[in-house]
Amino acid sequence: MIVARYRTAITRYKLSRPLSVAIDDGLIDGTTKVFDYGCGRGDDVRNLQQTGISCSGWDPVHYPHNEVKPADVINLGYVINVIEDAAERKLALQNAWSLAEKVLIVSARLISDAREISAPVFEDGYLTRLSTFQKFYEQHELREWIDTTLGSSSVPAGPGVFYVFRDEGAKQSFASSRFRRSRAVPRLVRTDIIFEQYKSLLEPLMAFFGTHGRLPEEYELNEVEEIRKNIGTVKKAFSVIRHVTGREQWDTIRQERAQDLLIYIALSRFGRRPRFSNLPNDLQIDIRAFFGNYRRACEIADDLLFSAGDNEQVDRACRTSTVGKLMPTAIYVHVSALQALPQILRVYEGCARSYIGSVEGANVIKLSRAEPRVSYLSYSNFERDPHPALVASLTVPLQTFRIKFRDYRESYNPFILHRKEEFVSADNPLREKFAKLTLQEERRGLYSDPSIIGTRDGWRNVLHSHKIRLVGHRVVRENPVSR
């Protein structure tokens, strides 16, 4: 049987998902050199070059004479799933890894991508009608194969996409950054002569504390020496900052940073929890500052992780959460409000993300109260559509980890959302607009029968019966039809 591998290369009009995800994750920018190993027709190479990123590629069919060379980031994009020979597949992965100076991106198609497979079985995959080969993986199967073949623990970047880091410290920095909430430093509430005079020295100190929740060691901030010359100790400089901003918000930042660290350490059990000496220096200092030592931090983190596996504690956290739409069997939260959830629920969701990575396009997360299950839901135009429709869902059962994907794009009568303000945090700038719409709809009696408004058709029927229509996030009466 001859497999026509050359037919597997497709034409791409936009950047492939693995490279797009790597850019979003900050692994590729204008300073990064990228090499696409098995680049097919070279569309990803051209797309990256057009954005100013240094990129070249090689392909055994389309660009066999191009130089194969090392780079910061090597992309092995949807290559291994089209190689029918298991030994050759393994060699392709090893060759790509040998070229990666910082990160290898490995991607392959998942069983959830295959829908209903009708192609004949061939080797350990399937032979398509075009005589091409396709192997579909479970997420955990793909990760285990990568890790075993390379002898290095990979990091899930998304469904069917994994990062393999050359440096363990860089890997842990990336892993911890996924659970570090972003927070603006406190604003000034009063003036101070010293602050205004040395603002250029104090603002970097504020930014450092905002990131780490602690004061820097002498070698961690370039401005420390100048601060000492002009103000005194770093602690004295920070007292000036607290004077002009207030103390409470800095205390909150410190508490939040400790929580973020615990979540990262708790979820590191799903990989191979690193030795303390393998952590980057700033993480080591953070851990000592908040917990005294690594062992103590791990003990507290493990207790947190185990509590996320206790259904009663999870359900209690759902019921007491100040953010999220609570339903009888689950709590729903917009991705922008994920960090505002109780710590146990962040770990609960993190268990799924540690397995699947980031789900592209998902903007609402559903945390089941009845069983250990996390769903990533994609709703169209959440911000602009007053009642956005469900486009797709990806569910991760935390017991079997056999992900389930459902596509609703062709659905004639999709599910829609109501009360959007409940999904977002209190400080979301759109919350007030969402809440005003809900109040108008309640006053018009549009929610009197919740059983029929959950779908687009049901909702349209209710609007029609009440002679109501929506203009953006406003309720208006239908104009009477002239006869």
Give residue limits of the domains in the chain: 5-166, 177-181+254-307, 193-245, 311-422, 429-477
pLDDT of residue 436: 97
Give burial (CB, 10 Å; 0-12/13-18/19+) of 308.
buried
Q: pLDDT under 50 in the chain at which residues?
A: 482-483
pLDDT of residue 113: 76
Domain 5-166 part of CATH 3.40.47.10:
no
